[in-house]
Amino acid sequence: MRIGELADRAGTTTRTLRYYESRGLLPARRAVNGYRTYDENDLRLLQQIRTLQDFGFELEETRPFVDCLRAGHPAGDSCPASLAVYRRKLTDLDTLIGQLQAVRAQVGDQLARAELEAEAQEPGGPEPRCELTH
């Protein structure tokens, strides 16, 4: 198949495919007429890359999965290098989740403090001026 058909089937653009080719993630095969040619294996590579990117993987992190598929394995994550990338990504995600939980706790504490202060104001007293609304 030609580049336009592959892009359509993969749900991406020809520009993206040329970029992947320049990065060595997609093979650069040419027909006698000079057109790029692709097959179903190339579509599998693209689907693997797109799935991983949907999960938040950087493009370079997809390389071990692509290499694994190119080596003839039935799945891109059946090689040790791919499993190592999964492990690193899970560690990164766990760190990020921890950071988000800490921020959430701080925001919750600030909300609780602000609500207590608002309740403690004298009824009928002047409303504090909010710089954002006035």
- List, as own/partner pairs, every contact residues 11-15 make where C-beta atoms lie below 8 angstroms and the sequence separation is at least 24, other chains included: 11/50, 12/46, 12/50
pLDDT of residue 127: 65
The two three-digit tokens of residue 34, written as one number: 């000079």
Structure confidence at residue 37 as a pLDDT band (50, 70, 90): very high
pLDDT for residue 52 is more than 60 = yes
Can you tell me the distance from the alpha carbon of 100 to that of 104, in angstroms, rounded to the nearest whole number? 6
As beta bridge partners, residue 30 has 36
* Closest C-alpha to 36, from 22, 53, 52: 22
Give the pLDDT confidence score for residue 119 in this predicted structure. Answer: 84
Return the CATH number of 3-120, one of 1.10.1660.10, 3.40.50.10310, 1.10.238.10, 3.40.190.10. 1.10.1660.10
Cα–Cα distance between 83 and 15 in angstroms, integer?
29
**Residue carrying structure tokens 């207590």:** 116
What confidence category does residue 100 fall into, taking pLDDT thresholds of 50, 70 and 90?
very high
Query: pLDDT (tens digit, 9 = 90+) per residue, 121-132?
Result: 766 656 666 666
Which residue, 64, 84, 66, is CA-closest to 26?
66
Given a cut of 70, whether residue 32 has pLDDT beyond it is yes
pTM (2 decimals)? 0.75
Query: How much is the pLDDT for 14?
Result: 94
Q: Tell whether the torsion through CA atoms of 110, 116, 120 and 123 is positive or negative.
A: positive
